Structure 1
Amino acid sequence: MMDFPDSDLAGRPVIEKNRTPRPSLMATLRQGARMMWRDARAGELRLLIWALVVAVAAVTSVGFLADRVGQALTRDASQMLGADLLLEADAPVAQDQIDAARQRGLEVSRTWQFPSMASAGDAAQLVSVKAVEAGYPLRGSLRVAVDPVTAGELTNDIPAAGTVWVDAQLLALLNIGVGDSLGLGDSHFRVSRVITYEPDRGMQFVNVAPRVLMRADELEATGLVTLGSRVGHALLVAGDPNEMAAYSSWLQGHLQKGQKIATVESGRPEVQRTLDRAQRFLALVALLAVLISAVAVALAAGRFMVRHRDGIAVMRCLGAEQRQITLMLLAEFVLVGLCASAAGGLLGYAVHEGLVYALGNLIDTELPAPSLMPALQGLVTGILLLLGFALPSLAQLRHVPPARVLRREADGGRLRGVLGYALGAVGFALLIWWFAGNARLGGVVAAGFLGAFGAFALVAWLCVLALARLRGWAAGMPTLRFALAGVVRRRAATITQVCALAVGLMALLLLAMTRTDLVAGWQRTLPADAPNRFLINIQPDQREPVQNLLATHGIDHPTLWPMVRGRLVAVDGRQVGPDDYDEPRAKRLVNREFNLSYGTQLPAANRVVDGRWLNPNAPEVSLEAGLAKSLGIGVGSVLTFDVAGQPIDVTVAGTRSVDWDSMQVNFFAVLSPVALRDAPQNWITSFHLPADRADLPRELLKQFPNLTVFDVGSILSQLQSVLDQVITAVQLLFVFTLAAGVLVLSAALTATRDERIREAAVLRALGATRSQLARAQRLEVWAVGGLAGLLAAAGASAIAWALSTYVFDFRITLSLWPWLAGIGVGILAAWGGAAMALRGVLRTPPLLTLRQAG
């Protein structure tokens, strides 16, 4: 029996007495799978699949990294504290707080931590000294080794009397080994073990100085801790959960100035904040790749729709219903989404391993295996991306009328296409919100992307208009005329290509400029003789000898500033505390001890912005302008500082702007001498140490073991090394952004492939040679890539300038290399995209093309 369609050629349903039974659901799904296999082999789905793979890989690579680090934080929460509860203080912990814990049967242990200089022979090195009591740590275990190359063993002991444990890094810096002597202040110790794991150091993202672990009962003999020394105190508490909860509740009501509680639940918030910022920044990069990939998916799906309309029309004439066509297309696209998402997830897992490797020692803990959540997130990303941006094209295919077999202009579904894109946009917005974890962050990402895309589109449109006017000037150059005609005639496709590639290139160029030009610009703000050493903990009776020693080594007239520890306790007679302020910075400022100073001269890197400088004979203070603004303090206010238990009242004479980048000694609060001259104090200075005076720090420490020398140059170098590692990791993800841009370019070029084949056939029939058309095609692609690179360089330079002016506050000298690199890489990327999309366009026989068109 012959099958009849369920509608006539105009799309109207007809009534049949003997209809063929409707195909089963499984038969329709099998047909969808066969269509996917056929289209994949024919290359119809190649760009669609690659766009999904790139987007899913970008999402999952960040997801796997964030998931593993988050699990490590949860796993190591107690170990990162070394206890169930950690009380941190900038003064010795009160005895009643210790007794209250012991009365509840809880274990307690104290630690002292501060920077100092360690010496071995003629070598000296800044170290982070940590003095601990027996029982440390109360949770977790130290891991120590007998030498730097041996695997460490867990231990619950602390160093024996007369010995210290150190980081392997310190042995290399001082060129010593286990068993050698190490000097700390007035004492010498034998290095007995190498620390390979310190539980409460956590994930150490910035190692400013290597660790030296010593016994607390030997700290006093070193002479390193004196009145006014900056020492971090900590009380570790552990025990029964119920008693811990009761003690924590009691302690909350008995906290003193400068104390704060860190619990297992807080999990080292400063580390968590660092991880959150890093994860969000990486998420921004991944979202950028996903956003660009969405454009590629939409373009590829649009081409899929155009090339399948005739086939769908024939199927409608042969009896296929809308429901059957919808199910077949959904089956095909869902299978494509599942396969591409699986491949993207595997690629993302491999890339995340590269991220872990690139971050190097920034993550110095063993990461647990990832959960399935990032893989699920990638799968949902792929499906939402595909259906959200392919749905409009699928809707149009579903409604292709049978009449299209006879009349090509028959079409419809434009309203349905708009509705499909609206649904896709909503789904994609939910995806951004889920992945970013923050509606504002997702909104900023999407708005920033659309803003850059819009600006690039406007410039690209103006450039296309300008090229249209140049076509008449190329009358004698047929190759150039053909290229210009192609750019102008395919205006929408050209603008899409330029914008997508420009956004990807701009991200890469901005990252490269941040690491080079911005860093170089900051370095140019420092004079050649800017201080590169800070000398602290100078005792009052050491001032003159230290100055004399510096002078004998060519350091003339260094300015020594007194440094006094004090806490702001009242403003205009009103007691103040963290609860009196809403701004986080203000809360931190009120809750900390200040390094106060006094003097008669305005510091060199300071400028009075309000009021006046100090009257040396009146109790006055000059505040840094930013601090005064944060705390709401104005000229004339009366401040009360607690200095060694004594209240000191001073009147605000004025505020100052401080150039913190000058590397000079600077203070938030400088008082008049009459207010602080008799307070307990030590002294600080900074100076420039020439390369040929490298022996000066050793000589200083030899005569004054209590001094601490901060080598700012080495610290900045170390921070730069950390920055390089982070940038290297981020660059791995920006490759996804560039790849997504190339895919959009390829998708846009592929969408014009049929049109280009017909044009080439007509031009060859009219006498154009294949070589002429090939050169014209290259020129067109180079123009697109060059313009994209030019826009990317302009955008990156503008953002770099804005960062240097409004964020980093220094001038940047924009160089030529980003423009040359942008244009060069843009041309290469466009050429690569064209090679993917336009292969074989000029090899199609013109006669065959013209016959098919006819």
Structure 2
Amino acid sequence: MNSSTAPALSSQPLLASHQPPQVWLLAWRQLWRDWRAGELRLLMLAVCLAVAALCAVSFLSDRLEQGLRRDAAQLIGGDAVLLADQPIPGALQDLARTQGLTSTLSSNFPSMARASEAQGGRSRLVAVKSVGTAYPLRGSLLLADGRRVGAPAAGTVWVDAAVIDALQIRVGDSLLLGESALTVAGVIATEPDRGAGFMNFAPRLMLAEADLAATALVQPASRVTYRLAVAAPDASGQAAVAGDAVKQFVTRAQALIERSGWRGVRLDSLESGRPEMRQTLDRASKFLKLVAMLSALLAAVAVALAARDFAARHLDDCAVLRVLGQAQKRIAWAYSIEFGLAGLTASLLGILLGWGLHFAFVSLLAGLLNVSLPAPSLWPALLGLGLGLSLLLGFGLPPVLQLAAVPALRVIRRDLGGLKAGSSLVLVAGVLGFAGILMVLAGELTLGLIAALGFALALALFAAMAWLAVWLLKRWVPLGASAAQGDGTGTGPTLPRWLVLATRQVAARPGFAVVQVSSLAVGLLALALLVLLRTDLIDSWLKSTPANAPDRFVINLQTDQVPAFRTQIEAAGVRSYDLFPMIRGRLLAINGQPVRQQQYSDDRAQRLVEREFNLSHSAQLLQHNTVVQGQWVEDEADGLSVEQGLAETLGLKLGDRLRFDVAGVPVEGRISSLRKVDWSSMRVNFFVLFPREHMPDLPSTWVSAFHAPTGGGLDRALSSAMPNLTVVDVSAQLTQVQTVLNQVIQAVQLLFGFTLATGLVVLLASVGSTREARTREFALMRALGASSRLLAQVQRAELLGVGALAGFLAGAVAVLLGALLARFAFGFAWNLNLWVPLFSLVAGALLAQLAGWWSLRGVLRRPVMQTLREADTQ
């Protein structure tokens, strides 16, 4: 018997007592011995990596969610907030007063702030916010000089430091906003209701509500967000839980909005207050959760393989223990306690590693988060501990429990007491617990089901395909092939001897082949899937900021200013630009039926029907749009062209009639075409287009996008010539977006590396699980005269073949599973890559060969006598 696998339970203590304390002591001795012998290291490493990946993601999401809950009232600006794209109706303000609530009005929109010509004439895009005298209702506005203030006084503004830096002015200087000159009275350090604590692309400029009209920036077609914040009287000034008055206000306000038919008025929430980069965070969060789930799935495969190999190594040990009088129950308890201690140790190490890793995520996402996050709760640690123990319980313990049933007669007859199917009760309990943890981690049913069920079905498919491959291999290489070559007759298949032996090795152990191909394919599937999703996910982010994208957007351009605008930008060297009329319209009816928010269950559809759309008209189809259904007909009097995604969300189809309200003017048309819009082009795009050159009866402004020449002089010239214009310089924002995306990508790649490591553990466990069987077989072959060179060729051919088959299967399934995840979980376009199965075939063969070289090193270098003795004693 091999000394490394000799039983740790000596006969004297085993026969002397059956007391539980001795069982715990003996389990600890077994754990220490098996760890030193290296038999538990692979298993514990897989558990540790899976728990670390899960805990890192869970700690991060837990802190973010706690921060959002903690700052909820400040983030939305009150105990309740009403949001509208038209001025808030006075009846809602009266309702707040009758409920005894404090209220304040504010409005938000982007515009350009400028320094005077004497101060350099520089300009900067700002997020303008006009506030009432009661602002802020919750939290406090902190200035850089330490003052806690409210709304700015008439004629003054509070600004972010970025405005000071961009315009190169100081506190006390004047800046130009529209047609007004306002004095900078302070620099904002903390704004309580900035919005979820995430980065805003434009710095804040806050002015008094009384000064807004004088700027002349708000025009009939301007896009302005109006807010009415209300709060219950609270001496502490904090937003704990809204009182009964606030709850009554919310109920009555909702009823009043529905009864009065006010469109676009809704209650604000954290979700509706998210800025644009939240989509990037959502996708990154989903990907991180998917990576953690795949790490757990891979760990389950690795644990199952390592535990079965562990049990196979200890069959003879347990047979000797049975001879020495040990009871089955005692052996079962000893190994159960040993595996429990191993799982607990690996889980605790994984929790500590995940705790440290989540700080790296927080650091990498620092550009998106400018709030202090609270300490995480204990829940992520308990979730990680549950994952680790369920991995050991569901996938590691079943084969080990069979050791207790090994008959004592096995010491004489080695064909007795082999491993069979595991304990069904323990397996079902562990798998159910494992599945529950995965669903909690996923956070949503779609992502969890696609990942978990997809991998379960893939595993069954891999096993079936592996069995079919072995069956075909038996028929392709007959058993007499080697004899035909060895007898010198020259008959039979002309195959190399090493290839014949390799195929017979695989065909002789169909069970080993199926397990090995299936486990390798699962590991390679996870790696291929992550590589594909990571690549397409990152590409979809990076395409949002193409190198030649327009970096200037101009809004609020009036119709009579269009000729002068064209002349000015063309004289400055701009040759390619977008210039379209922009009409603000609200969807009233579809096919004559009034549109109501309640008729849609989808959140996006509900938001769309409650907001005003940006409409436009053009006789020519926009260059970056493609007609996917119907036909674009120039100057079609009754035609409409609708963006494909909008049509899918609202259930629209060709031939439907839509009626819009444009500043009180009804406009109706029939959907004659559906367009695919490239929203990542940074060009001017619209949900709905009228295919007409002129629509003079509708109030409109114009919008333009172009890439500005270097120097920045054009911005100042446009703002000086037409003060009502909002010239949005997004060049800095594009660079900022790219920086943020790079930070998110780094966070994704950090956890991606953990899953790669777990996948390699699966490969090592899969190949290493056949080590003992190969040792015995090679011992017999060498005794019969096979050379080490021939056996090395046989082993290499077998590993390359198994790896190639597993890689091809993994690549084919990865394409299908990746398409489902991209479409239903991440919401981005999926590019079908037919080269993936071929590439994964080559990668699988090479990885299997490398894993085999590492796991099976030394097997072929053992002396013949040593291998024969070991084979005889095992």
Q: Is 2:89 aligned against 1:86?
A: no
CA contact (8 A) 2:803 2:841 kept: no
8 Å contact from structure 2 (residues 55, 355) kept in 1: yes
1:592 equivalent in structure 2: 611
Task: Indicate the residue corresponding to 1:15 in structure 2.
Answer: none
Q: Secondary structure at the match of 2:560?
A: helix
Cα deviation, 1:110-156, whole Å, max 9, x if unaligned, reads 2111111233435433322222223322111233325xxxxxx4723
Q: Which moved more, 1:454-463 or 1:122-131?
A: 454-463
Residue in structure 2 matched with residue 221 of structure 1 by the alignment: 214
1:704 corresponds to 2:722: yes
SS of 1:534's partner is strand
CA distance in 2, matches of 1:122, 1:458: 73
| 1:346 paired to 2:365 | no
Matched, 1:738 2:762: no
Q: Give the equivalent residue in structure 1 for 2:134.
A: 135
1:480-629 → structure 2 map (5 Å cutoff) = 491-492=513-514, 494-496=516-518, 498-514=520-536, 533-555=552-574, 560-571=579-590, 574-600=593-619, 603-604=622-623, 605=625, 607=627, 609-610=629-630, 613=633, 622-624=641-643, 627=646
Secondary structure of 1:253's counterpart equals helix
SS in 2 for 1:365: coil
**Take 2:362 and 2:45, find their aligned partners in 1: how far apart are those partners?**
25
2:246 aligned residue (221, 240, 244): 244
**Equivalent residue number for residue 751 of structure 1:** 769
Counterpart in the other structure of 1:63 = 58
Superposed displacement of residue 434, structure 1: 3.6
8 Å CA contact 1:113, 1:129 repeated in 2: yes
CA spacing shift, 1:431–1:575, aligned 2, 3 Å: closer
Preserved CA contact (<8 Å) 1:177 1:191: yes
Provide the C-alpha distance between the structure 1 equivalents of 2:149 and 2:845, rounded to a whole number of angstroms: 59
Q: Write the distance in 2 (CA, Å) between the matches of 1:832 and 1:66.
A: 35
Assess if the C-alpha contact under 8 Å between 1:742 and 1:829 holds in 2: no
Cα 1:768/1:191, change in 2 over 3 Å: farther
1:185 partnered with 2:178: yes
* Whole-angstrom distance in 2 between the partners of 1:321 and 1:351: 45
| Counterpart secondary structure, 1:360 | coil
- Tell me, yes or no, if the aligned pair for 1:522 and 1:810 is still in contact at 8 Å: no
Matching residue's letter, 2:869: R
Secondary structure of 2:388's aligned partner: helix
The question of 1:316 aligning with 2:322 is answered yes
Distance 1:839 1:108 in 2: 75
Distance in 1 between residues matched to 2:863 and 2:444, nearest whole Å: 55
Two-structure CA RMSD over aligned residues (Å) = 4.3
Aligned pair count?
Answer: 823
2:67 & 2:81 partners in 1: Cα distance?
A: 19
Which deviations, in whole Å up to 9, do the C-alpha atoms of 1:758-812 show, x marking residues without a partner? 3444455566676876787677667766776676666667777899999989896
Secondary structure of 2:196's match? coil
Which residue is 1:150 aligned to? Answer: none
- AA in 1 matched with 2:136: P
The equivalences for 1:639-654 within 5 A come to 639-644=658-663, 646-652=664-670, 654=672
Contact 1:167 1:210 in 2 (8 A): yes
Residue 252 (structure 2) pairs with residue 259 (structure 1):
no
Q: How does 1:650-799 map to 2 (within 5 A)?
A: 650-652=668-670, 654-661=672-679, 664-671=683-690, 677-687=696-706, 689=707, 691=709, 695-711=713-729, 715-762=733-780, 764-765=782-783
Deviation (angstroms), 1:467: 8.8
Unpaired runs of 5+ in structure 2? 1-13, 234-242, 486-492
Q: Is the 8 A contact 1:505 1:789 kept in 2?
A: no
> How much has 1:510 moved relative to structure 2?
1.5
Deviates more, 1:129-138 or 1:429-438: 429-438
Once the two structures are overlaid, the 10-residue window that deviates more, 283-292 or 788-797, is 788-797
Q: Distance in 2 between matches of 1:625 and 1:770?
A: 65
- The verdict on how the C-alpha distance between 1:775 and 1:213 changes in structure 2, with shifts beyond 3 A counting, is farther
Structure 1 residues 299, 793: CA separation in 2 closer, same or farther (over 3 Å shift)? closer
**Structure 2: distance between partners of 1:142 and 1:408:** 80
Residue of structure 2 in register with 1:298 after alignment = 304
Q: Which amino acid aligns with 1:729?
A: A
List per-residue Cα deviations over 1:352-402 (Å, max 9, x = no partner).
Answer: 112222222222221111111111111111111101112321331121112
Change (3 A) 1:445 1:529: closer
Offset of residue 570 of structure 1: 3.7
- Alignment partners' CA distance in 2, 1:795 and 1:509: 13
Measure, in 1, the Cα distance between the counterparts of 2:515 and 2:589.
Answer: 66
Is the Cα–Cα contact under 8 Å of residues 106 and 243 in structure 1 kept in the other structure?
yes
Cα distance in 1 for partners of 2:506, 2:68 equals: 54
Alpha-carbon shift at residue 31 of structure 1 (Å): 2.0
| SS at structure 1 position matched to 2:367 | helix
Report the TM-score, using the length of structure 1 for normalisation.
0.84
Cα distance in 1 for residues equivalent to 2:596 and 2:27: 68
Amino acid at match of 2:250: S
Please list the CA deviations of residues 12-43 of structure 1 after superposition, one character each: whole Å capped at 9, or x if unmatched.
xxxxxxx9786122222222222222222222
How far off its partner does 1:626 sit?
5.1
Instruction: Please give the alpha-carbon distance, in whole angstroms, between the structure 2 residues aligned to 1:169 and 1:264.
Output: 26
**In 2: Cα distance, 1:351 partner to 1:460 partner:** 38
**Whole-angstrom distance in 2 between the partners of 1:118 and 1:161:** 17
* Segment of structure 1 superposing worse, 101-110 or 758-767: 758-767
Alignment partners' CA distance in 2, 1:790 and 1:721? 37
Letter in 2 for 1:315: L
SS at match of 1:562: strand
**2:247 counterpart letter in structure 1:** A
* Structure-to-structure mapping, 1:361-400, within 5 angstroms: 361-400=367-406
Q: Deviations over 1:480-531 (max 9, x none)?
A: 88877777766345414531441243144214522566678888xx8x9775
Distance of aligned partners of 1:83 and 1:491 in 2 relative to their CA distance in 1, 3 Å threshold: same
Equivalent pair of 1:509/1:796 in contact (CA under 8 Å): no
TM-score, length basis structure 2: 0.82
1:73 and 2:91 aligned: no
How many Å separate the matches in 2 of 1:479 and 1:322? 44
Q: Is the 8 A contact 2:591 2:656 kept in 1?
A: yes
- CA distance change for structure 1 residues 94 and 154 in 2, over 3 Å: closer, same or farther? same
Q: What do the CA deviations read for 1:570-628 (whole angstroms, capped 9, x no partner)?
A: 44554332123344443223211122334555555464944774767x67755446545
Letter in 2 for 1:84: D
**Paired letter, 1:225:** V
- Cα distance in 1 for residues equivalent to 2:185 and 2:844: 55
Instruction: Please give the secondary structure, in 2, of the residue aligned with 1:212.
Output: strand
1:101 aligned residue (78, 96, 99): 96
Aligned to 2:705, what secondary structure does the other structure show? strand
Counterparts of 1:805 and 1:439 in 2: how far apart (Å)? 15
Which residue pairs with 2:868 in the alignment?
850
Q: Tell me whether 502-511 or 36-45 shows the greater mean CA deviation.
A: 502-511
More displaced, 169-178 or 740-749? 169-178
Q: Secondary structure at the match of 1:568?
A: strand
Deviates more, 1:755-764 or 1:294-303: 755-764
Q: Structure 1 counterpart of 2:81, which letter? A: L
Aligned partner letter, 1:125: R
Q: Percent same amino acid among aligned pairs?
A: 42
> In 2 relative to 1, CA 513–438 (structure 1 residues): closer, same or farther, beyond 3 Å?
closer
**Do 1:517 and 1:812's aligned partners in 2 also have CA atoms closer than 8 Å?**
no
Unaligned runs of 5+ in 1: 1-18, 147-152
Deviation at 1:435, TM superposition (A): 3.2
The one-letter code sitting in structure 2 at the alignment partner of 1:565 is R
